[in-house]
Amino acid sequence: MKQICFAACLLISVIGAAQDTAGYWQQKVDYNIDVQLDDRRKSLSGRVTMNYVNNSPDTLEYLWIHLWPNAYKNENTALAAQVKAGKKKVRKSEADRGFIDSLAFSDGTNSLQFEFEGTNIDVAKLSLAAPLYPGSTVTITTPFFVKLPFYYSRSGYEGNQFMVCQWYPKPAVYDRKGWHPMPYLEHGEFYSEFGRYDVSISLPASYVVAATGSLQNKQELAQYKEIGKVNNNNPEQQQKFNGANGTKTLRYLAENVHDFAWFADKDFIIRYDTLATDAGVVDVFSYSQPSRKSQWANSVQFIEDAVRHYQSSLGQYPYPVVAAVEGPGNSTSGGMEYPMVTLITSPDATRESLDGVITHEVGHNWLYGIIASNERDHAWMDEGINTFYQFRYEAEKYRYNSVVGKYIPKEFKDLSTEEFLSRIYKALTSLPGKQPIETTSAAFTDRDQYGIVVYIKSSIWMYILQLEMGEEALNKAMQLYFQRWKFRHPYPEDFRQVLEESSGKDLKPVFDLLHVENNFGGKG
């Protein structure tokens, strides 16, 4: 996620190519989902089939399942508590809230019972009818009904735009450290199992849809490309779907991802281009709101530049599609990443800041999507490292920095990239990152500390790491980290091990800084 506002205010191969890591294992969950959007009732009804493969050495008698639409249900959820603590309003009216119900889990033979995790109604313990032995698979199905909330905290509807995120029943991660069930939070992100998604979305034909995965409906895809090519070279033209009658069912396939989000709007302006990479041609789409002032005219270019930047920094983009979606105009949360598709909510962005936020969110395909660390416990591993690469992108392209923004002195434009970054990091070091970088998301005292520590203090830490290792050695080590941990779940000790193996250096002094309170006082 990217949160621009807090900082500005305060500051003034693809699959299976990784080298085996001895004893490493991870679970696999494949999904088959049929879902219908009721755009008048702002709701979804569907059925999910989950194929859960137990690759662990342990026998499982239950699965923890996330039911995250319930986070929006009342004023007692973990999300509501965090929103209220941040002095923001929880949705009061019934129509504005969200929930999931009509669940009836089955393994094909037996109906399966679940109970909520204490007071968390968005986490459930699902008892299996029989023990799931190591190497075994269980197929679980359930119908579901979701009432979408009025858009807030990454999900919901606004008018006729639908941001369908965290919307289906989904097993928590079981890894070498055990189960990781977690209630949905505003400040604190995700941790999910990899698998294959086969998702069919039924909705009125007048909607344009952006989603994780590649669209299987050839005619619809051809129309998006045709319209998108025209719009990419011309001022915004209304697309063709607005007047369409009836309903349609769009099918998306995605391999080796750990989440699936989708976005539907009648007014999306589609833009399209192709990007040639070493692995083949990637379809690049953007879906924006109609607006004369919009910087989105350049959005496809920004996405392409971002993909090139992260490919040269870390490694090959492995998916066939990359997309960015413009969210509701009244929200300025920055953006939110999902595999292959990102939601951008920065209505007043300048060219540089829109490029920065799109790049940040596209960059999460590498640091969250492909390298899938436990973000809830170690948020710096995706946000901090990703922000470090975003800052480098902004420095190289514009001598710009999203956090410092308009306060960057004019003469900084004449500096070399390295000198510019050195000055920027020095300035950022003055921000009051009181809590240690290694703080679990739920343990941050407030929104500002979460923002400053997870994004900025952690990016400064990466810069210190670069000063310690040297830029070339860090780049080499990060590429090894990507190769070894892509489509996997690394922890901080795995990250450190790769850096030390690649560089031959003892990095204990730098890793000790992850536990230090307050800012780094001039070290950056």
Nearest distance, CB of residue 423 and Zn ion, angstroms: 23
Closer of 267 and 383 to Zn ion (Cβ): 383
Residue closer to Zn ion, measured from CB, 2 or 97:
2
| Percent helix, percent strand, percent coil in the chain, to nearest 5 | 35, 30, 40
Find, among 191, 160, 280, 157, the residue nearest to 488 by Cα. 191
Residue 400 CB, nearest distance to Zn ion (Å)?
Answer: 18
Q: Which is nearer to Zn ion, 2 or 154 (CB)?
A: 2
Per rule CB under 5 A, count of chain residues that contact Zn ion? 3
Q: Is 304 exposed, middle or buried (0-12, 13-18, 19+ CB in 10 A)?
A: middle
Distance CA 98, CA 265 (A): 19
Give the shortest CB-441-to-Zn ion separation in angstroms. Answer: 12
Residue with tokens 């990359």: 322
Q: Between residues 120 and 373, which has the closer beta carbon with respect to Zn ion? A: 373
Closest distance of CB 333 from Zn ion, Å = 11
Encoded one letter per residue, x for contact with Zn ion by CB under 5 A and - for no contact, window 367-406 reads ----------------x-----------------------
Q: Please state the φ and ψ torsions of residue 32, each to the nearest 5 degrees.
A: -125, 115
Q: Sign of torsion, CA 390 411 11 332?
A: negative
Look up residue 125 and give its DSSP letter.
E
Cβ proximity to Zn ion: between 255 and 383 the closer is 383
Q: Is 1 in the site for Zn ion (CB under 5 A)?
A: yes
CB of residue 331 vs Zn ion: minimum separation in angstroms? 16
Phi, psi (degrees; rounded to nearest 5) at 117: -80, 95
CA 124 to chain CA mean position, Å: 23
434: part of which helix (H) or strand (E)? Answer: none
Q: Is residue 192 within 8 Å of residue 180, measured between CB atoms?
A: no
Distance CA 18, CA 417 (A): 32
Alpha helix (H) ranges present in 331-382?
351-363
Nearer to Zn ion, 208 or 307 (CB): 307
Residue written as token pair 């990060």: 478
**Least distance to Zn ion, CB of residue 126, Å:** 30
Q: What is the Cα gyration radius of the chain?
A: 22
Nearer to Zn ion, 11 or 205 (CB): 11
Query: Rounded distance, CA 346 to CA 128, Å?
Result: 44
Closest separation in Å from C-beta 327 to Zn ion: 15
User: Cβ of residue 191: shortest distance to Zn ion, in angstroms?
Assistant: 15
Part of the chain binding Zn ion (CB under 5 A), chosen from 1-9, 27-35, 90-98, 258-266: 1-9
Minimum distance between the CB of residue 360 and Zn ion, rounded to whole angstroms?
Answer: 6
In the bound state with Zn ion, the residue whose beta carbon lies nearer, of 2 and 376, is: 2
CA–CA separation, 137 and 5 (whole Å): 45
Judged by CB, which is closer to Zn ion: 198, or 394?
394
Closest CB to Zn ion: residue number: 1
Burial of 39 (0-12, 13-18, 19+ CB in 10 A): middle
**In the bound complex, what is the minimum distance in angstroms from residue 335's beta carbon to Zn ion?**
7
Is residue 427 within 8 Å of 490, Cβ to Cβ? no
Neighbours of 183 (CB within 10 A): 24
- The residue (of 2 and 484) whose beta carbon lies closer to Zn ion is 2
Least Å distance, CB 3 to Zn ion, is 8
The crossing angle, in degrees rounded to 10, of helices 383-398 and 417-428 is 130
Q: Please name the amino acid found at residue 401.
A: N
**How far apart are alpha carbons 166 and 168 in whole angstroms?**
6
Residue 242 identity: N
Q: What token pair was written down for 48?
A: 């999910």
User: Which CB sits closer to Zn ion, 1 or 269?
Assistant: 1
Give the footprint of Zn ion on this chain (CB under 5 A): 1-2, 383
